[in-house]
Amino acid sequence: MLIVTNMMQNETIIALEQQYEVGLYPKRPLAIVRGEGARLWDAEGRMFIDCVGGQGAANLGHCHPAIVAALQTQSSHLISCPEIFPNDQRATYLEELADALPFPARIFCCNSGAEAVEASIKFARLLTGRTRIIAAMRSFHGRTFGALSATWEPKYRQPFEPLVPDFAHVPYDNMEALAQVVDDETAAVLLEPVQGEGGVRPASPGYLEGVRRLCDEHGALLLVDEVQTGFGRTGRLFAIEHSGVTPDMMALAKSIAGGLPMGVVALHERHGVLPPGSHGTTFGGNPLTCAAARAALRALIDEELPRQAAEKGAWLLAQLRSLEAPVVREVRGLGLLVGLELKQRVQPYLGALLERGVLALPAGPTVLRLLPPLVISYDDLGTVVAAVAAVLRGT
């Protein structure tokens, strides 16, 4: 038997990344080397309950057996295949995803959330012949120039100005503010059904319906960014299904392929096809990610993960709301997208949670965000609640 002698320690891994990376990411003081379901292990074998959930990419949990099997099988058949050639995995996935979408659609495949948003902005300009895109304050849509132009946070935007022209931002969840800017020059309104990075803010009932009517009055398109809310996270397969709204386009990524990098734009079929050659990407629709995405979609549906997210999320929200911690201003969420708005900066609490074996995320400076894999057990959720209670009370 081979004895593995070159196991790297946390400190070695951390030091190497620090030496060679360009330094963009504030790093946590541990190196993750293995995952299973909602649990992660560092290089020294310490176990953590994962409420980061791959920043939204791990709805199915880590190393889901169906994803592992799909990758093993497909990687021995075909890994890359540009879209100029039809492919069995891609063709089948397109049909399966189209069947699962809440509206009849054609699908464009790309490789990330920002790319999906980027494509939907370009498609909106192509389809309408107009340029103006309206997005929301506190929105997050990604870091490429088009997606960044739609993103609100000044600290992400300002170092890179000038951005793409003709973007505007209005307060989220506010019909009057939107009605003042949408007009017959508007190409599209771009919104998250629940703002994620912007602090975990679900839209009020009726808001998206109002946005849809306003867009229709002016011939503007409605683009929804479901990169974080899609694939079961909020308790439905897609968050717009909580409303009756049909968008013109939906951007999806993060958990689409069981953790592999992939994004798509679902374009309502009433818009037909786009001009050949007007957009594209080399890795889009490659057989390996399409095989993983097929397995991910099947597992989400077979294991009823959207329903599980709804039930576990309701339980978690109730538990967190009953914590008597004076530092908590508000607990918000939909499904297993949960945020605790604090009266103080969140960063020290994230460190304290890590010490207690729970990995969590911020959403802006004062919101503690919990984004566990939807497969998390009630036992682990209970451990998370106890750890959150202890750190918020400072005990």
Ligand X SMILES: *Cc1c(COP(=O)(O)O)cnc(C)c1O
Binding interface with ligand X (CB under 6 A): 56, 112-114, 117, 140-142, 192, 196-197, 225, 227-228, 253
Smallest distance from the beta carbon of 302 to ligand X, in angstroms? 25
Q: List the end-to-end C-alpha distance of the chain, in Å, as a whole number.
A: 46
Nearest C-alpha neighbor of 194 from the set 335, 293, 349: 335
Contact 150, 117 (CB under 8 A): yes
Three-state DSSP class for residue 50: strand
Tokens of 101: 């979408």
Smallest distance from the beta carbon of 140 to ligand X, in angstroms? 5
242 versus 391: smaller Cβ distance to ligand X:
242
Q: What is the rounded CA–CA span in Å between residue 142 and residue 160?
A: 13
Q: What is the rounded CA–CA span in Å between residue 177 and residue 180?
A: 5
286 versus 385: smaller Cβ distance to ligand X:
286
Q: Which residue has the tokens 């107009």?
A: 130
Q: Kind and range of the H or E element at 136?
A: strand 132-136
In order, the DSSP letters of 23-47 are: S-S---S--EEEEEBTEEEETT--E
- 201-202 and 167-170 beta bridge pairing: unpaired
135 versus 391: smaller Cβ distance to ligand X:
135
Smallest distance from the beta carbon of 392 to ligand X, in angstroms? 25
List the beta bridge partners of residue 39.
Answer: 36, 49
Closest chain position to ligand X (CB): 113
42 versus 118: smaller Cβ distance to ligand X:
118
Nearest C-alpha neighbor of 60 from the set 317, 383, 294: 294
Contact 287, 74 (CB under 8 A): yes
Angle in degrees, CA 103, 242, 330, rounded to 5: 145
List the beta bridge partners of residue 268.
Answer: 105
114 versus 374: smaller Cβ distance to ligand X:
114
Smallest distance from the beta carbon of 224 to ligand X, in angstroms? 10
35 versus 56: smaller Cβ distance to ligand X:
56
Contact 234, 42 (CB under 8 A): no
57 versus 67: smaller Cβ distance to ligand X:
57
182 versus 337: smaller Cβ distance to ligand X:
337
DSSP character at residue 62: B
- Give the catalytic positions in this structure: 140, 225, 254
Smallest distance from the beta carbon of 40 to ligand X, in angstroms? 19
Smallest distance from the beta carbon of 121 to ligand X, in angstroms? 12
Whats the size of the chain, residue-wise? Answer: 395
Smallest distance from the beta carbon of 261 to ligand X, in angstroms? 7
Smallest distance from the beta carbon of 61 to ligand X, in angstroms? 19
Task: Spell out the alpha helix ranges (H) of the chain.
Answer: 10-20, 65-75, 88-100, 113-128, 145-150, 154-157, 175-181, 207-218, 287-302, 305-321, 347-355, 378-393
Contact 366, 342 (CB under 8 A): yes
